[in-house]
Chains A and B, each alone.
Chain A
């Protein structure tokens, strides 16, 4: 079955760190660009990071310097290392698949993992 399954969410204190994982199955993981997209409760979607097939990475200003996306093709896995977490980072984090190249769309999504930043 073609799917993405996120894990690693939880409760963390402000200033803390957390590492999210995404396990891919049913498709050739190494051939796709991969992304993290988050959604705060009751709010809209926000693109958080992207990694290309060659390992090139991209971030919006809101997380640049704090978040690091990486991938391990041999394990069909995507990761998001989140440091210096803030209350505003509280959200469900989705792993999403995109075509190789320019970010045109996300055609496969995981069910998400909840990250709560609170003291």
Chain B
């Protein structure tokens, strides 16, 4: 499976909203509502932020939301805060018990 496509970087000012896209194919993102999103601060382990497309784990702020249209999933962060600055990765089930990650997006809070 090929990696999912994410923009290398996005930026926004505190209080604004940003959206990170994650483009796959009809074999992964397009076929399953099983996209998850992870936040990773430098030197730290990834943290689950969204699962099954739009569900938030307990403890994750409702400023984070997920959606999907066709072969593209999206992560939206509203009310941007300085602590949101991190790398974000999408991940999708790709069939046959395999998963594929995106290349990652670096979010800068200006």
Contacts and interface: CB of A to CB of B under 8 A. Distances in A.
A109 interface: yes
Interface string A8-47: 0000000000000000000000000000010000001111
Q: Name the interface size band of chain B.
A: 20 to 34
Contacts of B44: 111
A107 interface: yes
Contacts of B98: 47, 58, 60, 103
Contacts, number: 62
Interface in A40-80: 44-47, 50, 56, 58, 60
A2 interface: no
A56 B97 CA distance: 10
Interface string B36-79: 10100000111110011000010000000000000000000000
Interface in A95-110: 102-107, 109-110
Interface in B68-92: 89, 91
A112 B101 CA distance: 18
Interface residues of A, number: 20
A93 B64 CA distance: 27
B99 interface: yes
A105 B48 contact: yes
Shortest 9 CB-CB contacts between residues of A and residues of B:
A105-B51, A105-B36, A109-B45, A58-B97, A44-B104, A45-B101, A44-B103, A47-B99, A104-B34
Interface of B: 1, 3, 34, 36, 38, 44-48, 51-52, 57, 89, 91, 93, 96-104
29 contacts: A37-B46, A44-B89, A44-B101, A44-B103, A45-B46, A45-B91, A45-B101, A45-B104, A46-B101, A47-B91, A47-B99, A47-B100, A47-B101, A56-B97, A58-B98, A60-B1, A94-B45, A103-B97, A103-B98, A104-B34, A104-B36, A104-B51, A104-B93, A105-B51, A106-B91, A107-B48, A109-B46, A111-B44, A112-B45
